[in-house]
């Protein structure tokens, strides 16, 4: 681990931290299998939809793919050592379905053994393993059979979940069934931006429902194999506001986008059914034809916690306004909606507006609108154009400022009564950022992709101090 530069010491969190977090607050960082593991053909692993999508010309920036990513498959022990030195209390990772059950078929002993080693290494280092069963790497063979648009995939997911729980259910601290099903369904099957790269609105709506069905089936398996272990689902939730609250079209646009982004997932999980307005909105795309009477109870299986991934908020109009952009195909039935940027907001290297107040608002919306459920920030982070200095240090003051403002937003939510119990920064390591390839760096730890050298950034040292104090100055 590198020596801390003077600029890091200058930004130390004061030991008389004014904003303290609750005792037992979980501090962690997150990754996902396809983004960090590499070793895409090692030990029996077969293609996922992302391996195949990345081979499509123009699908991923720079023609990048998941090999070698951050080589975490081979360097996990070094990475766990970094976690320990950075004070992380928990590590949120996902398992690769094509590694555990290649082609969606029989269990693969070598693939399971990797996760055995990883979990044991984490436990030996005093880092809680938080495992996600699905972070978008569907076996390509199952996609060729219809993918998530095929109801059968939910049952194949349950088989995969059973294999994982039988092996690791006694040692994982907390389970998440799915990560961001909105992205898997809408970016993958409607927008064509993510794997499998389809642009079929009925398929996207069917995929949404079958992902949620898979979640419910997996929750039952977790309860049977790890009855004392906490489990939930991770959703990307963003507050949506009308550009002009007095404009009827803008208010209607906000209702529609809030429905597709947030309520389409929150309501079936926490209320036991899809909201009536969304049922009407999505009827032209076949929602009614894929929902069966027994599904609502399965999807509404009790969750111990809800994971919130937050990166931005949205302002929308039901008409073109200066500077606005029309909704893309990833928003079924919203062709008349326009997204309106905030020209005053700072932006990350991804072009995303930095809006920490939206994090507080998103947490409050769940807190006020749904049954009581503990919340965790399971992803929150930012890409910036990090520069390695002459001495090898990465002074990412922009990321430190991002972290500080969003942790203060978390504290604001707690002060307002939200039962927020933890925060996981995205991500631990620079990695393969989906359609952006290796062009965007989100990590607390810089990865030199040529040498795989790891260098903790200024933000990593800053975050480590926050964890040590359990608070902010």
Torsion 362-366-372-377 (CA) sign: negative
> Is 159 a residue of the active site?
no
- What number of residues does the chain have? 473
Q: Which ranges of 240-285 does DSSP label H, i.e. alpha helix?
A: 248-258, 264-270, 276-282
CB 237 within 8 A of CB 366: yes
What's the CA angle centered on 65, arms 46 and 328, to 5 degrees? 105
Name the E strands within 380-434.
420-426
Q: Which residues contact 60 (CB under 8 A, 6 or more apart)?
A: 53, 54, 434, 435, 436, 437
The beta-carbon contacts of 355-358 under 8 Å, at least 24 apart in sequence, are: 355/312, 355/313, 356/405, 356/406, 356/408, 356/409, 357/313, 357/409, 358/238, 358/239, 358/310, 358/312, 358/313
Torsion 11-15-18-22 (CA) sign: positive
Q: Which of 37, 143, 162, 180 is catalytic?
A: 180
The 3-state DSSP class for residue 430 equals: coil
Q: Which residue has the tokens 């769940």?
A: 366
Name the E strands within 206-259.
230-236, 240-242
Q: Which ranges of 40-151 does DSSP label H, i.e. alpha helix?
A: 49-54, 72-85, 97-100, 109-124, 140-143
Taking the C-alpha atoms of residue 421 and residue 402, their distance in angstroms, rounded to an integer, is 20
> Is 78 a residue of the active site?
no
Residues labelled as active-site residues? 180, 379
């Amino acid at each position: 681990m590198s020596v801390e530069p003077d600029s890091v010491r200058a930004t130390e969190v004061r030991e008389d931290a004014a904003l303290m977090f609750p005792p037992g607050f979980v501090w962690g960082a997150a990754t996902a299998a396809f983004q960090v593991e590499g070793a895409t053909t090692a030990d029996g692993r077969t293609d996922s939809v992302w391996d195949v999508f990345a081979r499509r010309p123009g699908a991923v920036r720079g023609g990048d793919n998941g090999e070698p990513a951050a080589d975490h498959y081979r360097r996990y022990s070094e990475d766990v050592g970094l976690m320990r030195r950075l004070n992380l209390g928990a590590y949120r990772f996902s398992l690769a379905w094509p590694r555990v059950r290649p082609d969606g078929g029989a269990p693969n002993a070598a693939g399971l053994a990797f996760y055995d080693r990883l979990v044991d290494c984490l436990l030996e280092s005093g880092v809680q393993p938080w495992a996600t069963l699905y972070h978008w790497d569907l076996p390509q063979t199952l996609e060729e059979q219809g993918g998530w648009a095929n109801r059968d995939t939910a049952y194949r997911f349950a088989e995969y979940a059973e294999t994982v729980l039988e092996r690791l259910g006694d040692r994982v601290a907390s389970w998440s069934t799915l990560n961001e099903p909105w992205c898997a369904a809408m970016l993958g099957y409607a927008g064509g931006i993510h794997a499998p790269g389809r642009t079929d609105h009925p398929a996207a709506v069917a995929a949404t429902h079958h992902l949620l069905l898979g979640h419910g089936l997996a929750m039952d398996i977790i309860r049977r194999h790890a009855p004392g272990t906490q489990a939930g689902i991770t959703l990307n939730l963003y507050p949506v506001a009308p550009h002009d609250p007095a404009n009827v079209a803008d208010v209607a646009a906000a209702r529609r986008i809030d429905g597709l982004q947030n309520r389409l997932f929150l309501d079936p999980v926490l209320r036991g059914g899809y909201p009536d307005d969304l049922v009407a909105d999505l009827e032209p795309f076949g929602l009614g034809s894929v929902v069966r009477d027994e599904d609502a109870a399965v999807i509404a299986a009790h969750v111990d916690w809800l994971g919130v991934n937050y990166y931005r908020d949205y302002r929308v109009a039901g008409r073109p306004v200066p500077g606005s952009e029309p909704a893309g195909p990833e928003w079924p039935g919203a062709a008349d909606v326009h997204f309106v940027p905030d020209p005053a907001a700072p932006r990350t290297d991804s072009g995303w507006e930095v809006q920490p107040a939206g994090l507080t608002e998103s947490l409050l919306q769940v807190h006020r609108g749904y049954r009581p459920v503990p919340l965790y920030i399971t992803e929150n982070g930012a890409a910036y154009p990090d520069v390695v200095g002459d001495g090898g240090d990465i002074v990412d003051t922009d990321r430190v400022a991002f972290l500080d403002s969003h942790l203060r937003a978390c504290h604001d939510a707690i002060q307002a009564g939200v039962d927020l119990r933890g925060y996981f920064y995205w991500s631990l390591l620079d990695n393969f950022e989906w359609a952006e390839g290796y062009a965007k760096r989100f990590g607390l730890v810089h990865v030199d992709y040529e040498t795989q050298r790891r260098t903790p950034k200024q933000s990593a040292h800053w975050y480590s101090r926050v964890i040590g104090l359990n608070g902010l100055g």
